[in-house]
Structure 1
Amino acid sequence: MKRDEPFTQRQQAVLDCALNLLVAGGEKALTTAAIAREAGCSKESLYKWFGDRDGLLAAIVEHQASKVRAPDALDGPFSKQTLIQELQHFAENLIEVISSDISLALNRLAIGQASRGDVALGRTLLHKGRGRIGAQTTRLLSAAMQQGHLETAPAKEAYHVLYGLVLKDTHVRLLLGDELTAAEQDTATVARKAVSDFMKLYGATTED
């Protein structure tokens, strides 16, 4: 399967099985035999769909990253309020996906492999995960700047600021086994606060 082709429903179900195995048993549980048994398919099908183990891991990352609904640049003019709503939806969804047991398991696996000198999964997470999400959101921020809703600045830099305001140190803390407070688990409120702070930094003071 070409990388630019969407996963079929059957392939998505297989990848979900692989993710569940990773969460439940860690790297040792993530074997082609175990995935095939759990998903009810053959190892030959796994190889046909995803290639070798690295290809399977890349597909798992891509599938998990697709759960973050990064906003695309909107067609035509849009209001500042529409921009804020899009960013709030993105921020809330980002927190939920990044904080999930599945994302944490993937990142822990990448860290463990990197400690042994294997950085392939880590690079895949950056490229297929954070990189894809960032590219889409950056285009929206760039369009907002062109329409005068945001002050003119490097859009990629603005995205990194937004990302930091949304997640803060949450991801690192969760990777280290910390638990979120009740207030931090209120993703809608956290997202609104992050976007509000972002607009204070980048929101245009006057609009045409």
Structure 2
Amino acid sequence: MVLQKCSAGGRRPGRPRQFELEQRADIILAAAERIVVEKGLAAASMEAIAREAGMSKRTLYELFDSRSALFAAIVRRLRDAVTHPLSQEEAKLSLEARLRLLLTPRSSKFYDPLPTMLLRAMVTEAERQPSLAAEFLREGIYKVHAMIRTELDRAVAQGEIRISDTEAAARLMADMAYDGVLEHLLTPLPAHEQIEAFHRRLDLAIRVFLKGIGE
């Protein structure tokens, strides 16, 4: 996402201007998410998003220089909501506790239809829109892999565990923690069952991973 910080209307640049731009960006992203959920990714053109947000296309392009950039911001916002970047204090916890915090989303996001809608859209449209598919991977699961790897590298450096290939191990941990894509798309659990199922899977995944990955 590109936020322009130049002055406008005679105002000096600074935090108030930046805050206004961030508010506009949030409105735009929320509008784009509504369109994706209600009508699908193909309907989420810049024109349609601008109309839904009550803004001009020019305003959209002032904040996001392309549709791919806007989509990447949606994925980043979703990723930030369903992961838990660790604070300095949390980074001092055990590896098991760090992984659990990192991979546990806020409960409200278990009821959000957006992740499933985006995933379905990517499966359907990846061939026609490879740039969006690339953004989905880069800003989504690849960044999650990187966050897990950071904690594994920290654990190796601190002598908590021995892992020769932390990149491959991070991918394995992510695959173990999250439901299989095909099953999730075809037979998603009712919303009220998702939280318990996720925590059961995450608990098992972390136990199996930590007992089996060390060398």
AA aligned opposite 1:102: L
Report % sequence identity.
Answer: 25
1:174 maps to 184
> Which runs of no fewer than 5 residues in structure 2 stay unpaired?
6-17
**TM-aligned CA deviation for residue 142 of structure 1:** 0.6
> Are the counterparts in 2 of residues 110 and 119 from structure 1 also a CA contact under 8 Å?
no
Question: SS of the counterpart of 1:150?
Answer: coil
1:2–1:44 CA distance, 2 compared to 1 (3 A): closer
1:53 maps to 67
1:102 maps to 114
2:15 maps to none
Aligned ranges for residues 67-106 of structure 1 at < 5 Å? 67-72=81-86, 78-80=92-94, 83-93=95-105, 100-106=112-118
> Which runs of no fewer than 5 residues in structure 1 stay unpaired?
none
2:33 maps to 19
1:88–1:189 CA distance, 2 compared to 1 (3 A): same
**Alignment of 1:122 onto 2:122:** no
Question: SS of the counterpart of 2:163?
Answer: coil
AA aligned opposite 1:29: A
2:76 maps to 62
2:149 maps to 138
> What is the RMSD computed on CA atoms of the aligned residues?
3.2
> Are the counterparts in 2 of residues 12 and 63 from structure 1 also a CA contact under 8 Å?
no
Question: SS of the counterpart of 2:188?
Answer: coil
> Are the counterparts in 2 of residues 70 and 137 from structure 1 also a CA contact under 8 Å?
no
Find the aligned partners of 1:39 and 1:77 in 2 and give their Cα distance: 39
TM-score, normalised to structure 1, is 0.78
Find the aligned partners of 1:94 and 1:85 in 2 and give their Cα distance: 16
1:79–1:50 CA distance, 2 compared to 1 (3 A): closer
**What is the number of residues matched between the two proteins?**
198
AA aligned opposite 2:212: L
Find the aligned partners of 2:193 and 2:39 in 1 and give their Cα distance: 30
1:196 maps to 207
Find the aligned partners of 1:95 and 1:168 in 2 and give their Cα distance: 16
**TM-aligned CA deviation for residue 141 of structure 1:** 0.8
Find the aligned partners of 2:107 and 2:141 in 1 and give their Cα distance: 13
Find the aligned partners of 1:31 and 1:165 in 2 and give their Cα distance: 35
Find the aligned partners of 1:54 and 1:119 in 2 and give their Cα distance: 10
Question: SS of the counterpart of 1:60?
Answer: helix
> Are the counterparts in 2 of residues 26 and 109 from structure 1 also a CA contact under 8 Å?
yes
Question: 1:22-49 CA deviation, whole Å, 9 max, x = no partner?
Answer: 0111134313333223222222111111
1:77–1:66 CA distance, 2 compared to 1 (3 A): closer
AA aligned opposite 2:187: D
1:168–1:95 CA distance, 2 compared to 1 (3 A): farther
State the structure with bigger RCO (CA 8 A, min sep 6), 1 or 2. 1
1:89–1:159 CA distance, 2 compared to 1 (3 A): same
**TM-aligned CA deviation for residue 76 of structure 1:** 10
1:203–1:75 CA distance, 2 compared to 1 (3 A): farther
